[in-house]
Structure 1
Amino acid sequence: MSLTLNLDFQYTTSIEKLWSAITDSDKLAKWTMENDFKPVIGYRFQFRQKPTEYWDGIVEGEVLIVEEPNRLSYTWGSGGEKHTVVWTLQDLGDGKVNLHLEQSGISNNQALGGAKYGWSAMAAELDKLLAQ
């Protein structure tokens, strides 16, 4: 059984600024984790944070799709699981942009709940970054 998380976040910003926030390593670090991300298909990267007793703090990824400024996809491997993350940006007009997250390949409801909680918290940080 494989579960998929779908979340939508609306931001008051330009699609270009939002694209930069999800693809620029320094900006990405401000709302997710330290990383060496580059928006280049086939590029392998890591998200890193302080390890806990339950997790080594490392997410391994590989960039799958880069369609500026509308779609970005990469693998998300951690704790023996490998998911696929797809970000879809849609300009809604009036200075609003919808950011859709689809994370597929999740193995159980506990992991699904953890992913939903984590991305929702990070999306709030992204909102703060975009407001600067």
Structure 2
Amino acid sequence: MLEPGLIQLTRFIPHPPARVWAALTNPDIHARWWAAGDVRPVVGHRFMLDMGQWGKQPCEVLAVEPERLLSYSFAPGTLNTTITWRLQAEGEGTRLSLEHRGFDLASPMGKAAFEGMGKGWPAVLERLDAALA
């Protein structure tokens, strides 16, 4: 059974996990494919992601396994969601999985964010792939 309020995507990235990890955790690279912000792979680290027209969204790193897992809260206090990235070596590249969970589908804002991000995440992953090319 599918979990309500969950976005899941998986994509093969033709680069090794170390390179994909850098795209997820290096603020300069991160700003090229998704949003500017002081993302760092340190549990407890708090940072803001500049989401343009949606404003700056607070985040806090919840879990880190270098080159394997990065999880952080996204917009606590408003959306109250969690983004989790999982990396698995596959041949010469990386199988990258995204889970964005916790959308409150009973609230208008939560439902709109779920629908918008559900449509937007595939393009974000394409930009990540392009930023590494």
Q: Which residue number corresponds to residue 100 of structure 1?
A: 97
More strand by percentage: 1
Q: Which residue number corresponds to residue 57 of structure 2?
A: 59
Q: Which has the higher contact order (CA 8 A, sep 6+)?
A: 1
Q: Which residue number corresponds to residue 34 of structure 2?
A: 32
CA distance in 2, matches of 1:62, 1:79: 12
Shift of 1:76: 0.4
1:83 corresponds, among 81, 84, 102, to 81
Amino acid at match of 2:112: Q
Q: Residues 49 and 5 from structure 1, CA distance in 2 versus in 1: closer, same or farther, beyond 3 angstroms?
A: closer
CA distance in 2, matches of 1:113, 1:50: 18
Equivalent position SS for 1:34: coil
- Structure 1 unpaired stretches of 5+: none
CA distance in 1, matches of 2:125, 2:30: 11
Shift of 1:24: 0.6
Equivalent position SS for 2:88: strand
Shift of 1:14: 0.6
CA distance in 1, matches of 2:77, 2:115: 15
Output the TM-score relative to the length of structure 1: 0.87
The count of aligned residue pairs is 126
CA distance in 2, matches of 1:42, 1:63: 5
Output the TM-score relative to the length of structure 2: 0.87
- Structure 2 unpaired stretches of 5+: 106-110
Q: Any runs of at least 4 consecutive aligned residues in structure 1 with deviations exceeding 3 A, and if so which? A: none
User: Over residues 12-61 of structure 1, what are the superposed CA-to-partner deviations in whole Å (9 max), with x where a residue is unaligned?
Assistant: 0111100111011111010011111111110100001433xxx3x11110
Q: Residues 19 and 122 from structure 1, CA distance in 2 versus in 1: closer, same or farther, beyond 3 angstroms?
A: same
Task: Indicate whether 1:73 and 2:71 are aligned.
Answer: yes
CA distance in 1, matches of 2:118, 2:34: 14
